[in-house]
Amino acid sequence: MIPDRLSWSVAWRSLLRSKRLTALTLVVLSVSVVLVIFLSALMNGVEQDLIDETTGAIPHATIEPSEREPAALWDREASDSSGRDPVYVGEKTTLTSQKGTLDDWQRWVQLVEQFGPDIEGVSPAVEGQGFAIRGEKREAVRLYGVAPRRYDRLVPIQENLVEGRFYELGPGEITIGYKLADKMEVGLGDRLQVTTPEGTGRSMRIVGLFDTGFGGIDDATIFMPLGDGQSLFGLGSSVNAIGIEIRDVFAADRLAEQLRRQVPYAVTSWIAENERLLRALESQGRSTDLITFFTAVAAAFAVASILIVLVTNKLQEIGILKAMGATRRQVRTVFALQGTLLSLFGGIIGSSVGVGVVKLLSGLESAPTAGGQTEPLFPFELSPEMVVGTVVGAVIIGFVASLIPARRAANVDPIEVIQNG
Amino acid sequence: MADGNDEQRQRPQDAEANGTILRLDGIRKTYTNGVDEEVLFGVDLELKTGDFAVLVGKSGSGKTTLLNIIGLLDTPTAGRLFLDDRETSTLDDDERAQLRREYIGFIFQFHHLLPDFNVLENVLMPCRIRGKEYEEAARDRAVEMLEMVGLGEKIQTPVNELSGGQQQRVATVRAFANDPTVVLADEPTGSLGSETSQSVMSLMREINRETGTAFLMVTHDPELTDYADRVIELRDGRIASDEE
């Protein structure tokens, strides 16, 4: 259905002359496109935001010592019951001290680093619960012994420093969240007593404060050099976690699965631990698709019905053209072209307005946090592919919607319209 | 079937010999709207190059139906129609459309111009339907013909700014733009005053003499028969008389 000069000229002139119908169609199409772009940008943004929020402060995948499963009493063989091994009765717990260690961690870090270009960071760490104590104040905290530059690729601390430093942590030095510092009423250069639940502790000097924007980290996290962590938790030269950052957060499950086959430890991914969030995002995505679909259907019906009016208005001219020898295909092309042109212009106008609105609203920011960080009020995520895709979708809808009116036009019998004068 | 082939083989020589460009052979037309209503009862007719014929008859005699069949806008229930030696009854819609744009020019009772286009574009529309190259080739001739009918100054004017007479003159010129073999006109002066009617008729006659284009015009205005070389009278779906 390649339009010739006749189809172009008839289609174009009649759109120009039917100003009201043309304008009405353009408005309907533009509004639909604006709606789809606005909604998609917002939903993508919210999804991206939630995922960033969820994965920003945790490794995408973690290699950990396998938890020791307590053996059920009834699984023990009769001969053992009298024997040497003690029997524990109670709930399963995972105290840090019981958690076990990764002894040959250098080997596994190397293995993961060579896993492929998608690996963005690998960070061995000693993690555990602990307390920060200063005078009368005592706060439960999470202690991390890390190699700062490596850990920074998992959770960006350096760029979120309010003051002080993180990269060059020396022995006995710690970097802590600004909210924790507020609670403890300490600042840069002050000392904190850091202890494990087992009671091991030492006094450490604060050399950096950070504000990541993640509440859980900013108000209860203390970073110290890896060596200090190892000695604090009595792990010797071992660590108890290897955190992994990958480019595509949704590939974490697959990576964990692959690693599980090669590493003799437990490998967890953020996806497995955030299934509910992901399911919520999925159903949100589905409802966005549904809204987009119904918007498209509504737009298609609008275009089709307006084109039917246009065909009805033009019956006589179509009859004349056919009497003069225009083929059915030429007549069909006129109206298919009108549908396509209308939706192309509607798409371009709509996407321009849509992108404008999104840009305008994404300039609005929420009130700043205590650390001075601000966040956009609407977390839009707008990609050129999405905008182009919406326009292309609109054009396809316009074309498809025009087919019924075009068929109707092609079927006009010239005799009837000519005789009716 | 054998007869048909023989006929087709012989016809080109016949056509060349006597200049026949259109031949109707026992054309019948029955409308079936619940009840069968027969309008044409076996019409035989020939039209030659340069003919300027008028088809007359009372209303309901089947004039317009016959004209529509000759113009390939309608199909006969029975009988055959040869256009330039081509049998047309087996052709589909688009093939008939193609023949229309190559062989036939129409002038309708109401001018039926396209309001979205100016005078020259309207005249060239049959050529545009055929293809860009035909439109370019016909442009000079179209302007010349418009000058001939006194519309040389108005070739860029939108057609709805013209008077009724001017519009019908544009429609007349349009019928000739594609250099057709036959021009069919249905009451071409029906909506015009007598003075304008005469000028349109003179124009048709002039073009007919100049180009040799055959002409078949339906009318029930007896005055217009004065312009014709040949008057064909249709009565109750049959040709009652055909006089030169």
Rounded to a whole number of angstroms, the distance from the CA of B108 to the nearest CA of chain A is: 8
With cut-offs at 50, 70 and 90, classify the pLDDT of residue A420.
Answer: low
Has residue A89 been placed in a domain?
no
Which tops the pLDDT comparison, B197 or A146?
Answer: A146
With cut-offs at 50, 70 and 90, classify the pLDDT of residue B12.
Answer: very low
Has residue A79 been placed in a domain?
no
User: Which residues of B are less than 8 Å from A407 in CB distance?
Assistant: none
Identify any residues that bridge with A17 across adjacent strands, giving them in sequence order: none
Please check whether residues A116 and A251 belong to one and the same domain.
Answer: yes
Please check whether residues A139 and A244 belong to one and the same domain.
Answer: yes
Q: Does position A418 have pLDDT exceeding 80, yes or no? A: no
Please check whether residues A175 and A127 belong to one and the same domain.
Answer: yes
Which residue of B97, B115, B117 is in closest CB contact with A322?
A: B97
| pLDDT (0 to 100) of residue B211 | 82
Alpha carbon A354 to its chain centroid, in Å, reads 21
Percentage, residues of chain A above pLDDT 90: 24
Mean pLDDT of chain A: 85
Q: What is the residue whose two structure tokens read 């019409």? A: B43
| pLDDT (0 to 100) of residue B18 | 64
Structurally, chain A folds into a number of domains equal to: 2
Please check whether residues A249 and A320 belong to one and the same domain.
Answer: no
Strand locations in A95-220 (E)? 119-134, 137-146, 161-164, 173-177, 191-195, 201-210
Q: Does position A280 have pLDDT exceeding 90, yes or no? A: no
Has residue A73 been placed in a domain?
no
Tell me the average pLDDT across B188-206.
77
Tell me the average pLDDT across A305-316.
85
B contact residues 1-60, partner A, Cβ 8 Å cutoff: none
Residue A296 host element (H or E):
helix A275-313
Q: What is the pLDDT of residues B110-127, one digit of tens each?
A: 778 898 899 999 999 998
CA max distance for chain A: 111
Please check whether residues A248 and A296 belong to one and the same domain.
Answer: no
Has residue A401 been placed in a domain?
yes
Among A15-19, A175-179, B91-95, top mean pLDDT goes to A175-179
Residues 6+ apart with CB under 8 A from A376: A362, A363, A364, A365, A366
Please check whether residues A193 and A294 belong to one and the same domain.
Answer: no
Classify burial at A217, counting beta carbons within 10 Å of its beta carbon; exposed 0-12, middle 13-18, buried 19 or more: buried
Please check whether residues A283 and A159 belong to one and the same domain.
Answer: no
Please check whether residues A259 and A117 belong to one and the same domain.
Answer: yes
| pLDDT (0 to 100) of residue A90 | 62
CA dihedral B158, B163, B164, B170 (to 10 degrees): -50
Q: Which of A269, A293, A310 is the last residue of a domain?
A: A269
Answer yes or no: do B101 and A419 touch at CB < 8 A: no
Rounded to a whole number of angstroms, the distance from the CA of B69 to the nearest CA of chain A is: 10
Has residue A93 been placed in a domain?
no
Q: Reduced to 3 states, what is the DSSP secondary structure of residue A319? A: helix
Rounded to a whole number of angstroms, the distance from the CA of A418 to the nearest CA of chain B is: 8
With cut-offs at 50, 70 and 90, classify the pLDDT of residue A347.
Answer: very high
Percentage, residues of chain B above pLDDT 90: 7
Q: What is the pLDDT of residues A137-193, one digit of tens each?
A: 899 999 999 999 999 988 889 988 898 999 988 999 999 999 999 999 998 999 999
Q: Does position B180 have pLDDT exceeding 70, yes or no? A: yes
Q: Does position B57 have pLDDT exceeding 80, yes or no? A: yes
Q: What is the residue whose two structure tokens read 């839009």? A: A380
Has residue A75 been placed in a domain?
no
Which tops the pLDDT comparison, A210 or A416?
Answer: A210
Tell me the average pLDDT across B18-46.
85
Vertex A67, ends A62 and A72: CA angle to 5°? 155
Q: Which of A269, A290, A308 is the last residue of a domain?
A: A269
Q: Which long-range contacts (CB under 8 A, 24 or more apart) does A91-99 make?
A: A92/A67, A94/A67, A95/A197, A96/A127, A96/A128, A96/A129, A96/A196, A96/A197, A96/A233, A96/A240, A97/A196, A97/A197, A97/A198, A97/A233, A97/A234, A98/A68, A99/A64, A99/A65, A99/A67, A99/A240
Reported pTM: 0.73
Which range marks the domain in which residue A363 is found? 5-55+278-420
Q: Does position B64 have pLDDT exceeding 60, yes or no? A: yes
Q: What is the pLDDT of residues A39-74, one digit of tens each?
A: 888 888 888 888 887 887 888 899 988 766 655 666
Answer yes or no: do A327 and B108 touch at CB < 8 A: no
Please check whether residues A242 and A295 belong to one and the same domain.
Answer: no
With cut-offs at 50, 70 and 90, classify the pLDDT of residue A96.
Answer: very low
Q: Reduced to 3 states, what is the DSSP secondary structure of residue A78? A: helix
Please check whether residues A413 and A294 belong to one and the same domain.
Answer: yes
Please check whether residues A232 and A347 belong to one and the same domain.
Answer: no
Best B99, B125, B187 residue to mutate vs chain A (most A CBs within 10 Å): B125
B106 touches A at CB < 8 Å: yes
Has residue A297 been placed in a domain?
yes
Rounded to a whole number of angstroms, the distance from the CA of B41 to the nearest CA of chain A is: 20
CA distances from A400 to A6, A30, A296, A346 (A): 21, 17, 11, 15
Q: What is the residue whose two structure tokens read 């307390």? A: A131
Q: Rounded CA gap, B93 and B72, in Å?
A: 9
B180 touches A at CB < 8 Å: no
Q: Which of A223, A252, A269 is the last residue of a domain?
A: A269
Q: Does position A283 have pLDDT exceeding 90, yes or no? A: no
Tell me the average pLDDT across A321-340.
90
Spatial contact of A328 and B94, defined as CB atoms under 8 Å apart: yes
With cut-offs at 50, 70 and 90, classify the pLDDT of residue B65.
Answer: confident
Q: Does position B21 have pLDDT exceeding 60, yes or no? A: yes
Chain pair A-B, CB pairs under 8 angstroms: 74
Please check whether residues A265 and A285 belong to one and the same domain.
Answer: no
Q: Rounded CA gap, A248 and B31, in Å?
A: 72
Has residue A76 been placed in a domain?
no
3-state secondary structure chain B: CHHHHHHHHHHHHHHHHHCEEEEEEEEEEEEEECEEEEEEEEEEEEEECCCEEEEECCCCCCHHHHHHHHCCCCCCCEEEEEECCEECCCCCHHHHHHHHHHHEEEECCCCCCCCCCEHHHHHHHHHHHHCHHHHHHHHHHHHHHHHHCCCHHHCCCEHHHCCHHHHHHHHHHHHHHCCCCEEEEECCCCCCCHHHHHHHHHHHHHHHHHHCCEEEEECCCHHHHHHCCEEEEEECCEEEEEEC
| pLDDT (0 to 100) of residue A130 | 92
